[in-house]
Structures are given as C-alpha cells and as structure tokens.
Amino acid sequence: MKRIRNIKVKNVFQLSPNMKRITFCSEDLYDFPENEDGGYVKLLFKKKASNDSLSRPYTIRSFRKKKLELDIDFSNHIGNQGFATKWASHAKIGDEILISGPGLKKPINENSDWFFFVGDMTALPAIACFLERIPKSSIGFVVLEIISKDDKIKLVKPKNIKIKWVVKSKQNPSVLENTVKKINWLNGKPFVWVACEFNQMQNLRNFFQKNKQISKHEMYISSYWKLGLDQEEHKLVKKDDSVRWDSN
C-alpha cells in the first residue's frame, strides 16, 4: 500500500486558459522518491456523509527534493465537473489535500528509431515530461489536442521533434485522430505513446495496430477519461477493455 501524505498548496499559476499548475509543499514529502516526473500520484477526496474516499490520478509534472515541492498540472478539459477539477479551480495557497503514491511509471523505449506522442490536455503534462527526458538527438512527432488556440504552451523538447497542435472541435470530433493519420511516417521503428479520451484511444489503437502494424510492445496506449462517465465508471470500462485487448 502506497504511503498517504498530507500536502499543502504553495502556489497557483495559470499556464493557459484551461491549464493550471499547482505547486504543493510539505515536510511529508521528505521521502518522496526523485526522478518520478511523468509518473503519477492519486489525490484523495473524502465523500460527503461517508468515511470513504475517492482517488484521482494526476501526473507528477515536477518534484524538487531540496525544496520538497511537487508540481501538478490540472486541465479543465470538460469543465469543472469532476472532484479534482472543482477542487483545483478553487484552490488557494494554504489549502491541504491527501495524496498517495507515486504509482509505477510506465517506461518508454528510448532506443527506438523515433517517437510518436499523441494526447489531449489530460496527457499534456506527461508528454511534456517525456520530451524533457528523451535524448536530445531524438526525432519524431507530437500531436496535441487543446481546447483553445490559447492553450498552446512552451514545451522543452529535442529540436527534431515536431509538435502539431490541434484545437478541439464539436463540428469535427475526430480532429485528433484525423491529424494523426495524416502524419508522414519516418523510417525505422517508432515508439508510440497515446493517452486521451476512451473512444479516441480505441480508434487510435486500431489505427496504430492495424494500419501501421505497431505491436503492443512498441507502444503505450491508455484512456485517461471517458466522455459521460465519472472516474469510477471509466475505471471499470477501461479494465474490461484492457482484458479484451490483452487476450487478443
């Protein structure tokens, strides 16, 4: 069982109209492991009229051991509907919250010929971490779906990684998938990393596996949320889908 820590809001910074960075600090982070950027912690929320708690996973954007500071980025991708998004939208300096973790960080094959990262705003913090970590000589593509053109943020990346920003559209809900399919592939074997909404994830997984013949070992693909479902419901659907995929 992961240790539960109590952390406190030290700073709140608006990265873009729909992305907020909250810096936490706490003496409770004294034994938090280093080099976990891109991994995750779970924020714990108490249910009303109950001793039970709800957990919400969030990417560790940065951890500074000397200062005992932890950065977590919160996206407002479907409005202030969820527990964590509501909490983050009202968070102020001094607010406290419980976290557990960190969870296991999913590795990527840094020896791949090139990289292909795909995600929406929920995946932006994790992709940003990977871009900072992969070798400076890396080549490849990033396709990121954002809510508005003003949600583009400066990313530290290898110079030969090309970023394509696409704006989410009700008129064209497949803009992320369509943009991915139009990318001209490079020579050699890529490592593919995808995280987004559940239905988008399934469509992209099908494309990478069937059209591009990418094996399960050459990609990480996950849904971070599902339209119309809360995290508990999404978790069940995700688990069922994962079992079916693993059996194929």
Task: Kindly report, residue by residue over 75-90, the tens digit of the pLDDT.
Answer: 986 655 677 888 999 9
Nearest to 36 by CA among 136, 82, 103: 103
Termini Cα distance of the chain: 31
- Number of Cβ atoms within 10 Å of the Cβ of 58: 22
Percent of the chain scored above 70 by pLDDT?
Answer: 96
Q: What is the pLDDT of residues 116-148, one digit of tens each?
A: 999 999 999 999 999 999 999 999 999 999 999
| C-alpha dist (Å) from residue 50 to 45, 46, 47, 54 | 11, 7, 5, 11
Residue 11 token pair: 């700073």
**Strand-by-strand arrangement of the 96-100 sheet:** 53-59, 40-46, 96-100, 4-16, 19-25, 69-75, 62-64
**Token pair for 67:** 């200062």
Question: Has domain 114-247 been given CATH number 3.40.50.80?
Answer: yes
Q: What six digits make up the tokens of 77? A: 């991708």
Q: Is 27 helix (H, G, I), strand (E, B) or coil?
A: helix
Where are the domains positioned within the chain? 4-100, 114-247
Mean pLDDT of 50-75: 92
Ranking 21-25, 102-106, 164-168 by mean pLDDT, the lowest is: 102-106
| More confident call, 79 vs 182 | 182
Digit-coded pLDDT (tens) for 205-230: 999 999 999 998 899 999 999 888 88
CATH number of the structural domain 4-100: 2.40.30.10
Task: In whole angstroms, give the CA distance from residue 248 to residue 245.
Answer: 5
d(CA 244, CA 191): 22
- Closest listed residue to residue 74, CA positions, set 93, 55, 61: 61
